[in-house]
Structure 1
């Protein structure tokens, strides 16, 4: 009878041993099949809870960059610091136990076993924590857990190496993109200076042409005078555009008393040809605004960026779209408000949270640096103002500038 009982026990132990070996082989295969930490965690917890009589199993992963446990407190944190297993029979009697987690999750921890997990170099990479055993752990249970921790250490090490490699490649790619965009921005800046120099050289001949037109008006007959007057008006308009461009391109950054409506008018005049070429209609509704101290060149840069974006959006509309620009003054809040609206496709919901990020652009490669809105927002905020937007996909977009009115420099 006793011999039969011993044989039955040995048979049961052998079956358990074989099953656990199979589970360890499965664990090794599965852990080597993925490099994602979330998948590794799920695999480990599922296998451990199938084999070990515990109510709850948790894997804490050590952050290799900061060299600390993500939950660097409590029993798991202690095991991570010491690198030694921690077996607690009564969790609430141990001062290292954090009761707040039980309160947070509505759980009651009775006992805890925390096992440090090491990689192939002997560096701790995680802690496996088991709570509330349904029976005492025997030697086979502990050997199984030791083996699991070995496999897990290798898998976590590989996952971290993979993650660091991916992050390194991603960082290299981002740096390459930033370098390319900065180079493009530098080229645009150099081109801006070049064009400004050309227009400066054009300005003098235009001024001379206006002077000779005035002289001719005094010396010719009426029919010719009318034609000379038209030439004079056209040259004067060209000279005005040249001056507007130079004011924008060569702003010294000094804040001076400024008529913001005048800046709006000058900027729209710079884009007159662009609007006309794409059949974009411009509607201006400018209320009387008080004079305020701003850097006119910087504010004009913001207006130009927003109007060019609106022009691109409205210009894509069949038959040409409409851009509206409105200004108003709130005397109670002592603010100036400028709204620039277009009836284009609007801003997609999935990118709205990113449009003010430096180098973020939805334009095709080579047609935008992704700096326009980021720089514009910075300029407005430097004036103690706000740059916001409202957009419903398919119904256009409105960008809103709010500037405080300053009657003296600051």
Structure 2
């Protein structure tokens, strides 16, 4: 491998970044990045186009190998940049591989690596050949004009032809200056409409013509059309903006597609009848059409017209218009590149935003699946435990009934013995006293009754657990949702009871007759569990903030017998309450309202209430998924879950679901 060429792939890591690739593709300026040995690391599309590279064939190649006729002064410039200097030139020559010479202006400066060391150079350039030649022509003509005027010694020269020639030279110089100004104006803008509008206005004023119009060719329409989008005209002329089918253009259409200039000094003598009729209908007497093609393949046309009289188009005017077209093509390409760059940036931003949203949704879905799986496993566990407990409880409950009857029979028999044999033997009397027969006969029925009550309680808990879990119901079923609420309350009973730090949480139920409701009972019970548990949390927090000290003092005074004589009045103590209402609303909907008299919520908290992972609880206490999952469950039922709350006035959650699903 040659010493001046880098190993394959050494610099390709730069091109693995999509955003960097977009930068290289759409940056409107010719920019190249080199290492310390002047080997190419990266270059913009404009650089590759201006200097005739194939895509990626330049990477790793030394600049002096690609352009062997580069002057030695460039190596000096290169070394100066590597020492930290910034070098530039407003005009410099550049020899292409085919031997042609271009004029460029350039700027070079060093770039620094992450360690602060100079890693190489960056050069930006702009080809100014056309402007250079135009400027040189102006200088030559101005010099010739000055020489001619200086050499005139006889007054008759001025009277005959020199005055006229001088005027022509001055007009030409003025036109060249206007061309330079126009080139500067249209190439300094990156807005396509501004570029086109500036160009046609300057042309119309420069040539003193009646009309100058810009058209785009639209081959994708049906039929294909030429669309006139901008015009500069004399105020007394009507506008000609609009769409013109290509069939009306006649043979001129193909000439324009072939990038041929169509020059018509007198429209009345033009051979193509279609085009002649079209331009005559627009009032043209002379016209010239100058096409150009953009880098993206679009074809545009500058159309100049004289309407007041037939006007011959001079060669100098055609040359001037060609120069304008060349500048306009460059400006349009720059504007297109800028537009594509901006669009690519917007698309990249949208894609990044969409990817971020997708990742958030994926994270949320994954967490919710884990939570749902936990709830499903818990439901299966609860259902299994309830089933295992149910069988022995039923056995105990059934036998207690018989045992109670047997005991009653035995006690009746014992009483009969006592009545028949009031004077038992001494041994029996001693045993009666030892077992405390009177107490046993009085307490045994109470004991059996207590056992029956306990068995009833266990059966009720088992029934509530089985009703709450309903893990095997994958389809909607018509159920009494009030049973689901009661089952949830039964499971949460241990949290509702009074504790050593707060009184019992009172539950006020106001159930309207509802009838069976079609729903996923197990999932709906999960919603009730989340809402009721949150209400209990809110009440406990409110209690701990406002009444803990008062309640403990009241409890102590009551314990020591002070009771209501204490200065602490009953009205001072906060009484935690949960109110549950069910009612039919909107004809086919049932509303379940679960309200607490806690501290309420701020509007900011309410706005984020159903966001995944949002919680007001301390770290490690709440997951922030309960209300989010509840919201999705209610949505799955075709209903809605919303909250009404004011700070200091409690909170109410409302679940609305349809009674019948259509």
Q: TM-score range by the shorter chain?
A: 0.5 to 0.7
Map 1:44-123 onto structure 2 (within 5 A). Answer: 44=191, 49=194, 52-53=197-198, 86-88=227-229, 90=239, 94=243
TM-score, normalised to structure 1, is 0.59
Other-structure match for 1:38? none
Maintained 8 Å contact 1:287/1:329: no
* SS of equivalent to 1:319: helix
Structure with greater Cα Rg: 2
Maintained 8 Å contact 1:387/1:402: yes
Other-structure match for 2:579? 324
Other-structure match for 1:184? 371
Change (3 A) 1:263 1:169: closer
TM-score, normalised to structure 2, is 0.40
Other-structure match for 1:362? 614
Instruction: Kindly indicate whether structure 1 or structure 2 has the higher relative contact order, using CA contacts under 8 Å at least 6 residues apart.
Output: 1
Maintained 8 Å contact 1:347/1:396: no
* SS of equivalent to 2:340: helix
Maintained 8 Å contact 1:347/1:397: no
The superposition leaves residues 359-399 of structure 1 with CA deviations (integer Å, 9 ceiling, x where unpaired) of: 845237845263222112323x3xxxx44434245354433
Other-structure match for 1:154? 341
1:78 shift after superposition:
5.7
Change (3 A) 1:182 1:301: closer
Maintained 8 Å contact 1:275/1:311: yes
User: Which of 368, 380, 391 is residue 193 of structure 1 equivalent to?
Assistant: 380
1:273 to 2:504 alignment: no
Change (3 A) 1:146 1:85: farther
Map 1:203-352 onto structure 2 (within 5 A). Answer: 203-210=390-397, 215=403, 220-223=440-443, 225-226=445-446, 229-230=449-450, 232-250=452-470, 252=473, 253=475, 255-256=477-478, 259-276=480-497, 281-292=505-516, 294=518, 297-298=521-522, 299-319=524-544, 321-328=576-583, 333=587, 336-342=590-596, 343-346=598-601, 348=603, 352=607
Return the alpha-carbon distance in structure 2 between the equivalents of residues 117 and 352 of structure 1: 52
Change (3 A) 1:361 1:334: same
Maintained 8 Å contact 1:388/1:400: yes
Maintained 8 Å contact 1:305/1:376: no
Change (3 A) 1:53 1:11: closer
Return the alpha-carbon distance in structure 2 between the equivalents of residues 123 and 201 of structure 1: 79
Maintained 8 Å contact 1:117/1:152: no
Return the alpha-carbon distance in structure 2 between the equivalents of residues 10 and 178 of structure 1: 68
The superposition leaves residues 250-283 of structure 1 with CA deviations (integer Å, 9 ceiling, x where unpaired) of: 3645645x55544433332222223347967343
Aligned residues: 326
CA RMSD of aligned residues (A): 4.9
Maintained 8 Å contact 1:389/1:397: no
Structure 1: 5+ residue runs without aligned partners?
28-43, 55-74, 97-114, 125-136
Structure 2: 5+ residue runs without aligned partners?
1-165, 200-214, 232-238, 246-291, 299-320, 412-439, 546-575
Return the alpha-carbon distance in structure 1 between the equivalents of residues 175 and 646 of structure 2: 71
